[in-house]
Amino acid sequence: MIGTATSIALSCVFVFFSWVATSNRTNSDCRSVALRWLYAYLGLAAASLFWSATKSPGVALMYWMGLAADCASVFLLAHDDESSEACRGIMRGYVLGASIVGLIAWVIPTLPDLRIGNEDFLHPNAVGYLLAISTLFAIQLSRHSRWMTYLAAFCGATLLRTLSKASIAGFAAAIVFYLLRDSHLSRRTKIWIGVAASAVIAFSWGLLEAYATTYDQGNHLETLTGRTYIWAVAWEEAMKSPWIGHGFYSFRFVIPAIGTFEPWQAHNELLQQFFCYGIIGVTIVVGLYWSFMREVRYAQNREFATLAAAILALAVVRGLVDTERFDINFPLWLLTLFIVAQRKPLLKQC
């Protein structure tokens, strides 16, 4: 509770200083349909606090404020005449932060199932998704900095070491798309990336086999079989309020603990949104993704278009078996960043 409150307070302070620093800018991204869908999602999440089944409305409000503050901060920072540079700066900070988290995950004791991380504070699945996004960021930034090439290699290797299956599968789809579509990387560089990835997998083969053996033993709730049970329970409860859902931060309070395991989310993107916000929420999320995909396709500023589409592929693939507790799989702050950066040529006309 104290940690959450501190984090939200810092986010709000950061929003204030970002607003002060950018208060003389009058541009507005009024033509972005995707941004309007994003506002609708945040508005629905806020409104759902009035009917949420959460037992901690104060904590739920703080989590929502943190979500909104992140989006506001990114919007203010990236919303100027140097939006591309601001976008690169935010991405660099994200990669550096993810690298530090990855380093911490390496040095703390390994979990019993051979994954790196910590079940309570640095869950391997959360760390894996963080590193999947940061690896794509670092590859994009490597055109400007050689150091990012090394950080991309470190983040990619650490992603594999987390053994987070959903993040690794999503990253595989994303990187294949990125390498096929991005033109700034030479064919030789793309080949070397493929060779390096193959070498890492080859050296890690023994670990992967040992993990597969551990994974198959017993009836774990985090296996695919266990997740189908969570899906069934979540669907049954979600159908009790199909139009507006159970509200923001309600899943852990509605779905009972399964033995010693307490599920916080439905392990499926659309099911999680349906549970929390019903059919209205699913419609908004689909509309947000669809409009964002169209804006990526027809973006005026093409620098980040391929990267945005690759992360969208990562989010969709991961969303089949995993999702976020309060956010959507494509983080809202990151959606905000790409929407603003890609629509920059239109901002002065608004």
What is the reported pLDDT for 346? 38
Domain membership flag for residue 267: yes
pLDDT-wise least confident of 143-152, 235-244, 295-304: 295-304
Domain membership flag for residue 21: no
Cβ atoms of residues 287 and 37 within 8 Å = yes
The mean pLDDT value for 153-168 works out to 91
166-196 as b/e, with b when 16 or more CB fall inside 10 Å? Answer: bbbbbbeebbebbbeebeebeeeeeeebeee
What is the reported pLDDT for 112? 82
CA distance 29 to 271: 31
Band (pLDDT 50/70/90 cuts) for residue 348 is: very low
What is the reported pLDDT for 211? 56
**Adjacent-strand bridge partners of 177:** none
Cβ atoms of residues 137 and 85 within 8 Å = no
pLDDT-wise least confident of 86-95, 184-193, 335-344: 184-193
What length is written for the chain? 350
The mean pLDDT value for 83-93 works out to 86
Domain membership flag for residue 275: yes
What is the reported pLDDT for 256? 84
The mean pLDDT value for 330-344 works out to 86
pLDDT tens, residue by residue, 266-280: 999 999 999 999 999
Indicate if the pLDDT at residue 286 is higher than 90.
yes
Band (pLDDT 50/70/90 cuts) for residue 118 is: confident
Percent of the chain at pLDDT exceeding 70:
75
Q: Among all chains, which residue has been given the structure tokens 């507790």? A: 325
Domain membership flag for residue 190: yes
Indicate if the pLDDT at residue 210 is higher than 60.
no
pLDDT-wise least confident of 50-64, 97-111, 207-221, 312-326: 207-221
CA distance 75 to 346: 15
State pTM to two decimals. Answer: 0.86
Domain residues for 39?
Answer: 32-344
Domain membership flag for residue 349: no
The mean pLDDT value for 63-85 works out to 82
Band (pLDDT 50/70/90 cuts) for residue 116 is: confident
Most confident of 65-74, 83-92, 198-207: 65-74
Distances (CA, A) of 346 to 27, 82, 342: 10, 14, 9
Q: What is the three-class DSSP state of 241?
A: coil
**Adjacent-strand bridge partners of 122:** 118
Indicate if the pLDDT at residue 221 is higher than 80.
no
Q: Which two tokens stand for residue 93?
A: 């900070």
CA distance 198 to 243: 47
Q: What are phi and psi of 247, to 5 degrees?
A: 100, 170
Indicate if the pLDDT at residue 258 is higher than 80.
no
What is the reported pLDDT for 17? 47
Average pLDDT, the chain: 82
The whole-angstrom distance between residue 303's C-alpha and the CA centroid of its chain comes to 20
Q: What is the three-class DSSP state of 257?
A: coil
221-257 as b/e, with b when 16 or more CB fall inside 10 Å? Answer: ebeeebbeebeebbeebbeebeebbbbbbbbbebbee
Indicate if the pLDDT at residue 345 is higher than 50.
no
The mean pLDDT value for 276-292 works out to 96
Most confident of 68-72, 78-82, 223-227: 68-72
What is the reported pLDDT for 349? 36
CA distance 128 to 155: 9
Indicate if the pLDDT at residue 201 is higher than 80.
no
- The string of DSSP codes covering 103-141 is HHHHHSPPPTTS-SSBTTTB-HHHHHHHHHHHHHHHHHH
What is the reported pLDDT for 350? 33
Domain membership flag for residue 105: yes
Max CA pair span of the chain? 60
Task: Count up the domains in the chain and report the number.
Answer: 1
Query: What torsion, rounded to 10 degrees, do the Cα atoms 249, 255, 261, 264 define?
Result: -20
What is the reported pLDDT for 148? 92
Domain membership flag for residue 228: yes
Distances (CA, A) of 235 to 52, 268, 277, 288, 321: 17, 11, 13, 23, 14
Cβ atoms of residues 22 and 75 within 8 Å = no
What is the reported pLDDT for 144? 80
Domain membership flag for residue 4: no
